[in-house]
A and B are shown apart, each in its own frame.
Chain A
């Protein structure tokens, strides 16, 4: 199966359709402009389809026009969420004292369209709109982030995630008492997307050291887990790891683990 991201050459008056899980996008190139129409379902669909033959969008869908004098190449990028995401395991996970566990958490991807010699972004949309949530010490201090339910798998499994990015998180409980994991905060805006040899999408491996009464920031390593095999970079982080995000997440994690 070919990748849904990358560079796509367009001739004039041709429309292409992408189905990336719940999101379907139609992109049309006209003389000096690009037109985009989209539709999103509420179903957790993982189907991927690229239609190369000209297929105009349904007439009832509103279209957005983006005026570019030049450029016939469309850059489609898979990006991580624009805010940190807190993944809540469907069932709370308990890590016994002195042990560590690696969980696999998947989060929805954003689709970014850009064009031009120095690609200029003109459209961006999540394939699935996650719920917003508040993350902070109280209702006045904190940050608005996204919330996602996760099954928090313990095995990598054979399923290839192409519509969502998978993050492996190692939780290292250095204390002697068990720690109950109810929420896993992921600093996704400062993480990248990689693709493995099967076309599955991954982020860097994340690590958390749990020490009682101390901040437990989520640290992102430089690459996905080695056992995933050879990976290629698909998109870079949106922002450099910011202290603000780290502070918010560490405060939140401290609360979660307390």
Chain B
């Protein structure tokens, strides 16, 4: 019995000793003189300030070095890796100053990660999605993308979200998780882009005349590509019009919208000058006996769409 009691006391003593060893840094910190705590505090502050400054200077220096040699996306990744690397090193130095053993902390980090994982599922999901986005490289910084109803230029791919500048110059944040789950249209990845114009042509109009106008314009306009060449084809024979599709190609990028607008403006002018008859929805009305009469029925043009 006595032996058992002694054994239990010994075990409790051992546990207490381990607990003391693990919490030793805190106890020794609290046991210090006020002046010493002040010195450690100042040292910690200095480490944080120096760490942040070194991180920023180093990342921006590397970023500047890569500015001409790498793409904006690679430059951004290099900046982030260097900055966060320096911050982690600073934190470790800080813990070392307080007498915390980093190894013990890393052991505890496993449990902490699980706890944090449950607490911040969305953030973790965004973080992982961000890594996939960077790896997949469907878009890079500087590209113009369309996600759901929004489109804009990619400013940065961050840990939790992607920042866009919309065409209205608004700052848009899209969570990485949303991007991974949705269809993303990269509007600037390919160097050339098609301009498609749909036209409703009257049945008594000759499509060859339209083709001649389009081809003459395409040959004259330096921004409309010679190859792939312009095309004009009949898409469908509608109820009241021939549905014609006009396709020309232009360089993709900032000037594409200007080119598209000019193409439409010039073609509209050409069609007007050449008297091209456009097709409008028509509705024939018949009333009472007039409907039975052999005379042609009056036709009423519906208002222009």
Residues of A contacting B192 with CB < 8 Å? 134, 139, 144
Residues of B contacting A135 with CB < 8 Å? 227
Measured in the bound complex, the distance between the Cα atoms of B225 and A130 in whole Å is 10
Q: Count the B residues whose beta carbon is within 8 Å of the partner chain — how many?
A: 16
Chain A proximity mask over B169-208: 1 for CB below 8 Å, otherwise 0: 0000000000000000000001110000000000000000
Q: Is the CB of A132 within 8 A of B190?
A: no
Which of A130, A140, A142, A143 has a CB less than 8 Å from the CB of B222?
A: A130
Q: Count the A residues whose beta carbon is within 8 Å of the partner chain — how many?
A: 15
Chain B stretch 42-93: residues in CB contact (< 8 A) with chain A:
none
Measured in the bound complex, the distance between the Cα atoms of B225 and A134 in whole Å is 7
Chain B proximity mask over A129-159: 1 for CB below 8 Å, otherwise 0: 1111111000110111001000000000000
Measured in the bound complex, the distance between the Cα atoms of B220 and A140 in whole Å is 25
Residues of A contacting B190 with CB < 8 Å? 139-140
Residues of A contacting B219 with CB < 8 Å? 131
Q: Is the CB of B191 within 8 A of A131?
A: no
Q: Is the CB of A132 within 8 A of B228?
A: no
Given A139-B190, A139-B192, A144-B192: A131 in contact with B249 (beta carbons within 8 A): no
Measured in the bound complex, the distance between the Cα atoms of B117 and A220 in whole Å is 63
Q: How far is the CB of B227 from chain A (nearest CB, A)?
A: 5
**Majority secondary structure of chain B interface residues (helix, strand, loop or mixed):** loop
Q: How far is the CB of B100 from chain A (nearest CB, A)?
A: 54
Q: How far is the CB of B186 from chain A (nearest CB, A)?
A: 12
Residues of A contacting B227 with CB < 8 Å? 133-135, 147
Q: Is the CB of A133 within 8 A of B226?
A: yes
Chain A proximity mask over B232-244: 1 for CB below 8 Å, otherwise 0: 0000000000000
Residues of B contacting A88 with CB < 8 Å? 226
Chain B stretch 228-263: residues in CB contact (< 8 A) with chain A:
228, 249-251
Whether B101 sits at the interface, judged by CB under 8 Å, is no
Q: How far is the CB of A141 from chain B (nearest CB, A)?
A: 9
Chain B proximity mask over A169-209: 1 for CB below 8 Å, otherwise 0: 00000000000000000000000000000000000000000
Measured in the bound complex, the distance between the Cα atoms of B253 and A132 in whole Å is 14
Output the residue of B222, B223, B228, B250 with the most chain A CB within 10 A. Answer: B222
Residues of B contacting A133 with CB < 8 Å? 225-227
Measured in the bound complex, the distance between the Cα atoms of B222 and A42 in whole Å is 11
Closest residue on chain A to residue B259 by CB atoms? A132
Measured in the bound complex, the distance between the Cα atoms of B140 and A122 in whole Å is 33
Which of A131, A134, A143 has a CB less than 8 Å from the CB of B221?
A: A131
Residues of A contacting B225 with CB < 8 Å? 131-134
Whether B224 sits at the interface, judged by CB under 8 Å, is yes
Q: Is the CB of A132 within 8 A of B191?
A: no
Measured in the bound complex, the distance between the Cα atoms of B223 and A144 in whole Å is 11
Q: Is the CB of A131 within 8 A of B251?
A: no
Pairs across A and B, CB under 8 Å, 15 listed: A42-B220, A131-B221, A131-B226, A132-B222, A132-B223, A132-B226, A133-B225, A133-B227, A134-B191, A134-B225, A134-B249, A135-B227, A139-B190, A144-B251, A147-B226
Contacts A132-B224, A140-B190 supplied; 10 other A-B pairs, CB < 8 Å: A42-B220, A88-B226, A129-B222, A131-B219, A131-B224, A131-B225, A132-B223, A133-B226, A133-B227, A147-B227
